[in-house]
Amino acid sequence: MADAAAETDDIAPEEAAASGPTMYGVPCTDGRGQTVLYPSREEYLDVLATAAADGFELCVDLCAVDALTNHARVLPPSVEPERFEVVVNLLDMRGRRRLRLRTQVPADDPEVPSAAGLYPGTEAPEREAADLFGISFSDHPDPSRILMPPDWVGHPLRKDYAIGVIPVQFKAVEG
């Protein structure tokens, strides 16, 4: 977090106090001892590229969050909350650092650029987020469904997805 505070030195002290600390040009906070960045969708790929160049060579995880019912979510004042978030956890193995990105994604336009070009291991987690939450990733190399059947309607991890009975299908038993 010390690095983050250093990036506010080039702006006036009153502006830094109002906007809070930044890292790679986006708002950041400390979340349980880990630096958390809040890039917009437009800043998302640039921040990932900057992080990769800064030594964060491993994407440990990429997932989606539906905050429809989470009214206690804490964000920096400059970040507008949206229904969905794409959360990316990065690791700098040489520097022994962790970094988390939380990008807000609106429900009426649930699309984020794909990180697969920077972190090749993100193809499957992006497909899962698309399949289960309905967040699409532009320029993804294979945007097909990964967990649900191709003809499945809806995204079952959305908080407003109808809870119902899913029939279990068994093969016929010959006897």
Mean pLDDT of the chain: 88
Q: What is the pLDDT of residue 139?
A: 96
Q: Is residue 143 one of the residues assigned to a domain?
A: no
34: domain range?
2-138
Residue 64, domain member (yes or no): yes
In a domain, 100, yes or no: yes
In this prediction, residues 56-82 reach a mean pLDDT of: 96
Instruction: Tell me which of 44 and 19 has the higher pLDDT.
Output: 44
Q: Does pLDDT of 129 surpass 80?
A: yes
Domain count, the chain: 1
- At position 11, the amino acid (one-letter code) is I
pTM for the structure as a whole: 0.83
Q: Classify residue 144: in a domain, yes or no.
A: no
Average pLDDT over residues 111-117: 98
pLDDT tens digits, one per residue of 4-38: 444 433 434 344 445 689 999 999 999 988 999 99
Grade residue 167 by pLDDT with cuts at 50, 70 and 90: low
Sign of the alpha-carbon dihedral angle for 25, 1, 126, 105: negative
- What per-residue confidence (pLDDT) applies to 74? 93
**58 lies in some domain:** yes
59 in a structural domain: yes
Which CATH number do you get for residue 124?
3.30.460.80
pLDDT at 174: 67
Q: Determine, yes or no, domain membership for 47.
A: yes
Q: Tell me whether residue 165 is in a domain.
A: no
Predicted local confidence at residue 4, as pLDDT: 44
> What pLDDT is recorded for position 162?
85
Encode the chain in three state secondary structure: CHHHHHCCCCCCHHHHHHHCCEECCEEEEEECCEEEECCCCCCHHHHHHHHHHCCCCEEEEEEEEECCCCCCCCCCCCCCCCCEEEEEEEEECCCCEEEEEEEEECCCCCEEECCCCCCHHHHHHHHHHHHHHCCEEECCCCCCCCCCCCCCCCCCCCCCCCCCCCCCCCCCCCC
Short-list 117, 101, 112, CA closest to 135: 112
* pLDDT above 70 coverage of the chain, percent: 83
